[in-house]
Amino acid sequence: MSAPAPADPAETLVDLVRTPLAGLSLAQVAARAVRAGARSLPGVDGLAVLVVEEGRTRAAAFEGADAAVLDERALDAGPGPVLEAATTGGAVHVDTAR
Protein backbone atom coordinates (compact mmCIF):
# COMPACT_ATOMS: atom_id res chain seq x y z
CA MET A 1 0.00 0.00 0.00
CA SER A 2 1.41 3.39 -0.97
CA ALA A 3 1.43 6.46 1.22
CA PRO A 4 -1.48 8.87 0.78
CA ALA A 5 -0.88 11.81 -1.54
CA PRO A 6 0.18 14.92 0.35
CA ALA A 7 -2.39 17.63 0.92
CA ASP A 8 -1.94 20.93 -0.89
CA PRO A 9 0.37 23.04 1.34
CA ALA A 10 -1.49 26.28 0.60
CA GLU A 11 -4.87 24.77 1.46
CA THR A 12 -3.45 23.19 4.59
CA LEU A 13 -2.01 26.52 5.72
CA VAL A 14 -5.30 28.32 5.09
CA ASP A 15 -7.15 25.66 7.09
CA LEU A 16 -4.64 25.97 9.92
CA VAL A 17 -4.86 29.78 10.01
CA ARG A 18 -8.65 29.69 10.02
CA THR A 19 -8.81 27.25 12.92
CA PRO A 20 -10.14 28.95 16.07
CA LEU A 21 -7.39 28.88 18.69
CA ALA A 22 -9.29 30.31 21.65
CA GLY A 23 -9.14 27.91 24.54
CA LEU A 24 -6.35 25.79 23.07
CA SER A 25 -3.06 25.29 24.88
CA LEU A 26 0.28 25.98 23.21
CA ALA A 27 0.82 22.22 22.98
CA GLN A 28 -2.52 21.77 21.17
CA VAL A 29 -1.74 24.54 18.68
CA ALA A 30 1.75 23.12 18.08
CA ALA A 31 0.29 19.64 17.55
CA ARG A 32 -2.13 21.00 14.93
CA ALA A 33 0.74 22.73 13.12
CA VAL A 34 2.85 19.57 13.13
CA ARG A 35 -0.01 17.42 11.81
CA ALA A 36 -0.69 19.98 9.08
CA GLY A 37 2.95 19.94 8.04
CA ALA A 38 3.10 16.16 8.03
CA ARG A 39 0.02 16.02 5.78
CA SER A 40 1.29 18.53 3.26
CA LEU A 41 5.05 18.05 2.93
CA PRO A 42 5.93 15.17 0.58
CA GLY A 43 8.66 12.82 1.75
CA VAL A 44 8.69 14.07 5.34
CA ASP A 45 9.12 11.26 7.86
CA GLY A 46 8.87 13.40 10.97
CA LEU A 47 8.34 16.93 12.17
CA ALA A 48 8.74 18.70 15.47
CA VAL A 49 7.96 22.11 16.91
CA LEU A 50 10.28 23.60 19.48
CA VAL A 51 9.26 26.44 21.75
CA VAL A 52 11.62 28.92 23.33
CA GLU A 53 10.25 30.45 26.53
CA GLU A 54 12.32 32.62 28.83
CA GLY A 55 15.51 31.37 27.21
CA ARG A 56 14.61 27.69 27.62
CA THR A 57 13.94 25.47 24.62
CA ARG A 58 11.58 22.51 24.77
CA ALA A 59 9.75 20.24 22.37
CA ALA A 60 6.10 21.28 22.09
CA ALA A 61 4.85 18.71 19.57
CA PHE A 62 6.10 16.07 17.18
CA GLU A 63 4.85 13.78 14.43
CA GLY A 64 6.68 10.57 13.59
CA ALA A 65 8.44 8.12 15.86
CA ASP A 66 11.93 9.46 15.27
CA ALA A 67 11.11 13.17 15.53
CA ALA A 68 10.84 13.25 19.32
CA VAL A 69 14.00 11.19 19.80
CA LEU A 70 16.00 13.32 17.36
CA ASP A 71 14.80 16.56 18.93
CA GLU A 72 15.72 15.39 22.42
CA ARG A 73 19.17 14.36 21.20
CA ALA A 74 19.63 17.71 19.47
CA LEU A 75 18.61 19.59 22.61
CA ASP A 76 20.92 17.46 24.76
CA ALA A 77 23.83 17.97 22.34
CA GLY A 78 23.78 21.73 22.74
CA PRO A 79 24.46 24.26 19.99
CA GLY A 80 23.54 23.12 16.50
CA PRO A 81 20.99 23.68 13.74
CA VAL A 82 17.94 22.83 15.85
CA LEU A 83 18.78 25.30 18.58
CA GLU A 84 19.96 27.89 16.05
CA ALA A 85 16.62 27.77 14.23
CA ALA A 86 14.69 27.82 17.51
CA THR A 87 16.52 30.80 18.96
CA THR A 88 16.95 32.90 15.79
CA GLY A 89 13.56 32.17 14.26
CA GLY A 90 15.21 31.59 10.91
CA ALA A 91 15.65 28.64 8.62
CA VAL A 92 18.89 26.68 8.91
CA HIS A 93 20.23 24.65 5.99
CA VAL A 94 22.02 21.41 6.83
CA ASP A 95 23.73 19.44 4.05
CA THR A 96 23.86 16.17 5.99
CA ALA A 97 22.28 14.74 9.12
CA ARG A 98 24.49 12.68 11.41
In the chain, domain spans: 9-88
Q: Is the pLDDT of residue 66 over 80?
A: yes
The pLDDT of residue 26 is 87
Q: Is the pLDDT of residue 7 over 60?
A: yes
pLDDT top residue among 79 and 98: 79
Q: Is the pLDDT of residue 1 over 60?
A: no
What whole-number distance in Å separates Cα of residue 63 and Cα of residue 88?
23
pLDDT tens digits, one per residue of 31-65? 888 888 888 888 888 888 888 888 788 888 888 87
Q: Specify which residues 61 forms β-bridges with.
A: 49
pLDDT band at 3 (very low <50, low <70, confident <90, very high): low
Exposed / middle / buried, residue 76 (Cβ in 10 Å: 0-12, 13-18, 19+): exposed
pLDDT band at 97 (very low <50, low <70, confident <90, very high): low
Q: Please enumerate in sequence order all residues whose Cβ is within 8 A of that of 85, keeping only pairs 6 or more positions apart, or say none.
A: 50, 91, 92
pTM of the model as a whole: 0.67
What whole-number distance in Å separates Cα of residue 40 and Cα of residue 13?
9
Q: Is the pLDDT of residue 86 over 70?
A: yes
